[in-house]
Amino acid sequence: MIKVKKLLNQVMSLLSKGIKKLTNNRLISYQNNQLVFFKKINVRVTNKKREMFYGYVFISIWLVGFLFLTVYPLVMSFIFSLNKVTITGAKGIQMTFSGFQNYIDIFTSDLDFVDYLWAFLGQIVLYVPIILIISMVISILLNQKIKLRGFFRSVFFLPVIIASGPVINELLKQGAGTIPLLEETGIVETLSKTLPAFMANPIALLFDEMIIVLWFSGVQIVLFLAGLQKISTEIYEAAQIDGASPWESFWKITLPSLKSIILVSAVYTIVMLATFSNNSIIGHIQKVMFDTTKGYGYSSALAWVYFVVIALLLGVVAFLLKNPKEKKIKKGVKRYATK
């Protein structure tokens, strides 16, 4: 850490010395603690502006990487989605403009993608509440004053560090994600016969991957723990003196205090499920991408449709979990500002 600070100080000193040496430059010069651009625009150099300049210099490295590694691929993928893309060894990438035909084909001819999309939506509706409830219950238990509390917190977060795509896929192939007791009861078979396919499939998948669902609750547990530790114990003590039961304290104190954490955890869970290595939609996009009849253009359109669906889901979740008190505060601020 000390070496990094020394390096940063050296870089800053070199930058300041380099700026001060700019005396006879038409583009930019340094005169009397002022930067002169094009010999007309004078900018007074203060400590605050100097710190801002150094900040922009250091962030420029990330900004260049973000533009070339994130923004550029996003723009190109949208351009691909509006074209029929073919790749040849001699001519490289060739695009034939087709407009929104790829998007039309998704909902008219690609029945597999539509089925996968409905299954994913059912999975979100089923998985997100279960993961949040399990995470909240475990975090409340881990927040109690018990022996080896730090050890148990590490144990619940350890699978998040160890688990990777290949490890999880291998566990699912070997049937390690199921709970044998649930299989013996025959609940999955009964639900599959009585419920429609779009409802029965996510429920059956939940029972098949119950251990994996518990496995992925580590980050949410940490988030809820952080929220619980911010709640003052004096509030619970005051509620207990007033005769509030533990259940009433949970509904009136704990749950409202964790509303922002619930929103963050819900968003994280949706993104986690959407990018899960075993996700059928991602597998379908990868398969179509290497198809000679459809290729990169059609797969890019699939990816953008998937992105829009996820964005709408996140918007709905943010709207449902938004604190109504925030709206009242914003309205009060606007009224005060207009007076």
Instruction: Give residue-wise pLDDT tens across range 91-133.
Output: 777 788 888 888 988 888 888 888 888 888 888 888 888 889 8
pTM for this model (two decimals): 0.70
| Same domain assignment for residues 166 and 206 | yes
- Kindly state the percentage of the chain with pLDDT values over 70: 64
- Give the residue from 97, 132, 152 where a domain finishes: 97
Residue 10, pLDDT score: 59
C-alpha span between 250 and 143 (Å, rounded)? 14
Average pLDDT over residues 43-70: 75
Q: What H or E segment, with its residue span, contains residue 95?
A: strand 92-97
Same domain, 75 and 179: no
Q: Give residues with Cβ within 8 angstroms of 9, minimum separation 6.
A: none
Task: Considering only residues 124 and 212, tell me which one the structure prediction assigns the higher pLDDT.
Answer: 124
Strand 41-44's sheet: what is its strand order?
Answer: 28-31, 34-37, 41-44
CB contact set of 12 (below 8 Å; sequence gap of 6+): 54
More confident residue, 231 or 293: 231
Residues 118 and 255 in one domain: yes
Structure tokens given for 312: 């709408």
Residue 199 pLDDT > 70:
no
Burial state string for 161-197 with b = 16 or more CB within 10 A and e = fewer than 16:
eeeeeeebeebbeeeebbeeeeeeeeebeeeeeeeee
Residue 123's contacts (CB-CB under 8 Å, 6 or more residues apart) are 202, 205, 206, 273
Q: How many domains does the chain have?
A: 2
Q: Are residues 230 and 115 part of one domain?
A: yes
Average pLDDT estimate for 234-263: 86
pLDDT in tens, 277-306: 778 888 888 888 887 778 888 899 999 999
Residue 336 binned pLDDT confidence (cut-offs 50, 70, 90): very low
Q: Rounded to an integer, what distance in angstroms lies between the CA atom of residue 209 and that of residue 175?
A: 9
Do 89 and 127 reside in the same domain of the chain? no
- Picking from 62, 82, 58, the residue whose alpha carbon sits closest to that of residue 71 is 62
Q: What is the 3-state secondary structure (H, E, C) of 81-93?
A: HCEEEEEECCCEE
DSSP 37: E
Shared-domain flag, residues 46 and 115? no
Domain end residue (candidates: 60, 80, 97): 97
Residue 308 confidence (pLDDT): 93
**Among candidate residues 67, 97, 127, the one where a domain is terminated:** 97
CATH number at residue 146: 1.10.3720.10
Q: Which of 99, 75, 101, 81 is nearest to 301 (CA)?
A: 81
Judge if 262 and 138 occupy the same domain.
yes
Amino acid at site 151: F
Q: How far is Cα 141 from Cα 143, in angstroms, rounded to an integer? A: 5
Query: What would the pLDDT profile of 59-93 be if each residue is shown by its tens digit?
Result: 888 888 999 999 999 999 999 888 888 877 667 77
Q: Which domain holds residue 39?
A: 1-97
